[in-house]
A and B are shown apart, each in its own frame.
Chain A
């Protein structure tokens, strides 16, 4: 049959047989069903009962109508076909041919096959769905277990805000079980309010369900449990969407931060409050003051700052001990507070000092309050172990109306006013005036005069030394071979045993012409100790000279006498004079330098670079060392300008045949830079910290030269 013929389109097999049952032709369906049945072969091969096929063929040969055959034909796939045959009439002379149509055994069978096919398809579909459902169930279980296990509370709602689900943590925090809460509006179950105002706050899920975006809870949000217990909570609400992105509900995730918030509050309180009195501490007080100064000026922006210093506190402490002092300080808070307004700040600034800030307070009211405070303490009866004490209050008060003050100036003004109140006889109020600053400064310096004199009398000055090493040896941690090279540093041992840095008392000493005496004490003491130690282990001892000594007529004579009295070689002595002092006393400085250099002494120009007028003068000052000002050294590794300055000073020094020294060397990076720049010597905490001169000399004698700081980095 032609491939394109209609017969080939028929789904049922079609055979053309001769009257002997030999296959003459067949369609595609027949070829497919009866594979192996070729043209010319006999249909008998496919039937069980050939006799019945013969009978069938006899019937079909005679019949023009399709008659059902008496046999079934079985396909290669095992399918049984019933046959219908009829004579293909061409003409009387043509040999008989029979057309045989084959149908699947019965309609019922076809239906069965179809039903079976559909049932199988349905079964496969059901199996797929079952598998998907199992997977979904497993995932739901996993999600459920996860939600039940996590430490956060989780509540989900539908799109109307009705509760669908609470996990155990949410149940514990709200007091509602999932079953009870299901179907209720979230606001009934999840009751939020502000920690500070106690007012209900908007439930974030409401916002989520309207706007569809994720939102966090506001700060200070509290959750009220069903039994009234309150929890501090944090976290967020988010929308739930289906696969198409449609909003179908919301989820609230939150956790209990009560403990964390309490802890944070405690830490914050401790950071801003004084542990002893519970009052604000200095830091918090200054912060409030700073905020006030930063705020825009109000219409009546009149404020008052008071520094309070307790008179006679030292007496209480010394006679009854610190416990009594602490008790007195603790008592003061409430006593002072009762005269202050609600908005006023009272802080303990340290020791027996208190600060009061009266914000938006008229001058008259501020004066009244200051008086009330003073009078309160005058009348205070403080007894310790039956012993009564009278205490008073020195108050420095600054009334200010605008924010033109800097914080530092304002604090300094109040401090000075308080200082003057004490200087003026204690237990009084000193109202700040413009002259106070200088006055207080002078008072303080005057005070130092007494303390310096006392220190002389009580022999409380002492000498420390800080080693200076070559840059190369500092880098490689090798000690210098030529002997100890160090700078002498003056310290004052205060009456309380603390070491006082020279910057605290030198300005006063300079002002009251005590510097020459101090220099002389330093020289005598140093020479004596060097002589005692034997100066052969010392290569260079640098001693600072003040401008006053450079200008002092008798200074050279004094130095000569020192060399005479003590066995110290001038060659180990190097005098350090500052750039500014040398320039201020240029002619005398030159004379002294030249004279002492003739003896063999050396000179170092200290703080070089700070004056910035000195390059020209260098030619007139025949010094041996340039000591580069420490302010250029500190940030050398990070500041290209500082680096350029140091490079310039170092180059000029070297051109002039001078050695250069860098002070304030505190890190390995700075040391490395200095090495690269070719600076000769280094000094600073990164190399060695100052130590008592005796200790240093003793180490030198033992041959224990400077030891580079292992911690240098």
Chain B
């Protein structure tokens, strides 16, 4: 067993209080990657890169949920539930604030990236793209507005998913997603 000499005694390394475990390691990895990206290519470009990653992951999750539910398309209610569920699976704490044919509003109390997300708004593109992908593929259109984000320093997140292209969605900031 690996040990280390201290002043008077030998202590096993496994017993050392080191903040390192896989989940934390991966979150830190993503935080560092996004930090470097933001520093080098700028926030906008970094957001673009993460968007691609988010889209790919969202696409995979969309396929996984449809397969698991045995449907080719999700209903609006299913979409809302899937979004809350998938976030819960990765230690997020999302909840449905409201939903109707025009929009789904979700709240969040905990970020899956935990404290590592603070100061890294590009990482929010993961949420935007995953939500936008799943919603648009089943409902035809989605525009995701991140009204509040823990990454930007808000206490929690508030995410609005516009489901109809129109005056309301156009007036709102955010990214649009389309059915492929």
Q: Assuming A68-B52, A96-B180, is B140 touching A63 (CB within 8 A)?
A: no
Return chain B residues, CB-CB under 8 Å to A61: 178, 180
B45 and A64 contacting across the interface, CB-CB below 8 Å = no
Return chain A residues, CB-CB under 8 Å to B153: none
Return chain B residues, CB-CB under 8 Å to A87: 176, 178
Tell me how far the C-beta of B139 lies from the nearest C-beta in chain A, rounded to whole angstroms: 11
Q: Assuming A62-B136, A89-B165, is B180 touching A67 (CB within 8 A)?
A: no
A472–B143 Cα distance when bound, in Å, is 134
A63 and B178 contacting across the interface, CB-CB below 8 Å = yes
- Contact among B49, B140, B176 for A64, CB-based, below 8 A: B176
Q: How large is the interface on B (under 10, 10 to 19, 20 to 34, 35 or more residues)?
A: 20 to 34
Tell me how far the C-beta of A51 lies from the nearest C-beta in chain B, rounded to whole angstroms: 14
Q: Assuming A68-B52, A92-B140, is B45 touching A63 (CB within 8 A)?
A: no
A65 interfacial by beta-carbon distance below 8 Å: yes
A61, A65, A67, most chain B CB atoms within 10 A: A65
Tell me how far the C-beta of B51 lies from the nearest C-beta in chain A, rounded to whole angstroms: 6
A226 interfacial by beta-carbon distance below 8 Å: no
In the complex, the chain B residue whose C-beta lies closest to that of A55 is B56
Query: Binary interface profile of B, 55-69, with partner A (CB < 8 Å = 1, else 0)?
Result: 110010000000000
Query: Binary interface profile of B, 147-180, with partner A (CB < 8 Å = 1, else 0)?
Result: 0000000000000000001000000000111111
Tell me how far the C-beta of A71 lies from the nearest C-beta in chain B, rounded to whole angstroms: 12
Q: Which of A48-100 contact B (CB under 8 A)?
A: 58-59, 61-68, 70, 84, 87, 89, 92, 96
A65 and B52 contacting across the interface, CB-CB below 8 Å = no
Chain A contributes a number of interface residues (CB within 8 A of B) equal to: 17
Return chain A residues, CB-CB under 8 Å to B52: 59, 67-68, 70
A67–B56 Cα distance when bound, in Å, is 12
Q: Assuming A89-B165, A92-B140, is B176 touching A63 (CB within 8 A)?
A: yes
Return chain A residues, CB-CB under 8 Å to B55: 59, 62-63, 67
Q: Assuming A67-B48, A67-B52, A89-B165, is B140 touching A62 (CB within 8 A)?
A: no
B49 and A63 contacting across the interface, CB-CB below 8 Å = no
B146 interfacial by beta-carbon distance below 8 Å: no
B178 and A64 contacting across the interface, CB-CB below 8 Å = yes
In the complex, the chain A residue whose C-beta lies closest to that of B177 is A62
Tell me how far the C-beta of B143 lies from the nearest C-beta in chain A, rounded to whole angstroms: 7
13 chain-A/chain-B pairs, Cβ below 8 angstroms: A58-B180, A59-B55, A59-B56, A61-B178, A62-B55, A62-B179, A63-B176, A64-B177, A67-B55, A68-B45, A84-B48, A89-B178, A92-B140
Which 7 pairs show the lowest CB-CB distances between chains A and B?
A: A64-B176, A65-B175, A87-B178, A61-B180, A62-B180, A68-B48, A62-B178
Which residues does B use to contact A, with CB under 8 Å? 45, 48-49, 51-52, 55-56, 59, 133, 136-137, 140-141, 143, 165, 175-180
